[in-house]
Structure 1
Amino acid sequence: MPQPAAQAATLFDLTFTDNHGQEVDLAQYAGRPVLVVNTASRCGFTPQYDGLQELHERFAEQGLVVLGFPCDQFGGQEPGDDEQIDEFCRVNHGVTFPLSTKVEVNGPGTHPVFRFVKDRAGGALGTRVKWNFTKFLVSPDGSTVKRYPPTTVPERMADDIQGLLPSA
């Protein structure tokens, strides 16, 4: 049974609801690096969907899991419902990696996945996400988290991702 973020030993102890209403148990990704990103479709960083999709295509077969978590907490930049967000991502950016339902990444309603990654990553902002497209790279052990600011384009994370993948 998945645990609340405060009790979770690893990311793989948690779940989320995908944008089709299905509960996703993160335990299925144990032993694989996971890139968790809060996303938005009307943000200056929205073109990063393309880079995230490229990472997904480049590294998925080696084990990388990219997960997008749409969030409307920053300037109302994700106003659509799950179906609209899904269509926007597929049509405009070719997104095939999993997306969650819309979540909160800050405040009392923070989704457990974001509570976990923020607690583990630390950083200058502590446990706050500053803006859309903040990225968290979780190691295959599910407990080590590296945080990247919204300004980090996805392709700049490729070396860090490769370092977490099994050797060929």
Structure 2
Amino acid sequence: MSRIGKRPVPLPSGVEAKISGQTVEVKGPKGTRSFTATDDVTLAMQDGAVSVTPRGKSKRAREQWGLSRTVVNNLVTGVSTGFRKELEIQGVGYRAQMQGNVLRLNIGLSHDVNFEVPSDVTVTAPKQTEIVVEGIDEQRVGQVAANIRDWRRPEPYKGKGIRYKGESIFRKEGKKK
């Protein structure tokens, strides 16, 4: 039995869900998202919550049960509160700033990096050493944050680079004479 799949997904106030066949469409204050489940699970509305149940007892049906419930929960969370990833920049002279729809990174390369921000994600730089990525799709927010981080990953000797807020970097000791 899936412990995650057993719990129905509650809908907070201001969020509506419509189920038609295997597709659930969720509308909220931040936008609209939809998800089409596989034929291994059944979607239903019960008491203002979306419940997912497996069809049959096959291994695939049980796998899809928990997965589908989690995806529906992420849809509800995305349209109600949204998702957010925070990055911090460490290094002398390293900084970031927004110029229109372009994130300009000065991270120790011979040139500035101009990162085009996708239209479905919002990127802000409240300080020169902080970057905030927000959106309603958890996968897109995480992917954009990972793409920004890939320009200069934190290195283990001095810790310079772009890291997630709160991420700890394993530090190495340098050469000894």
Same fold per TM (> 0.5)? no
**Which structure would you say has the larger RCO, counting Cα contacts within 8 Å and 6 or more residues apart?**
1
Q: Which structure has more helix as a fraction of its residues?
A: 1
Using structure 1 for the length normalisation, give the TM-score: 0.24
Larger radius of gyration: 2
TM-score (norm 2): 0.23
Q: Larger % of strand: which?
A: 2
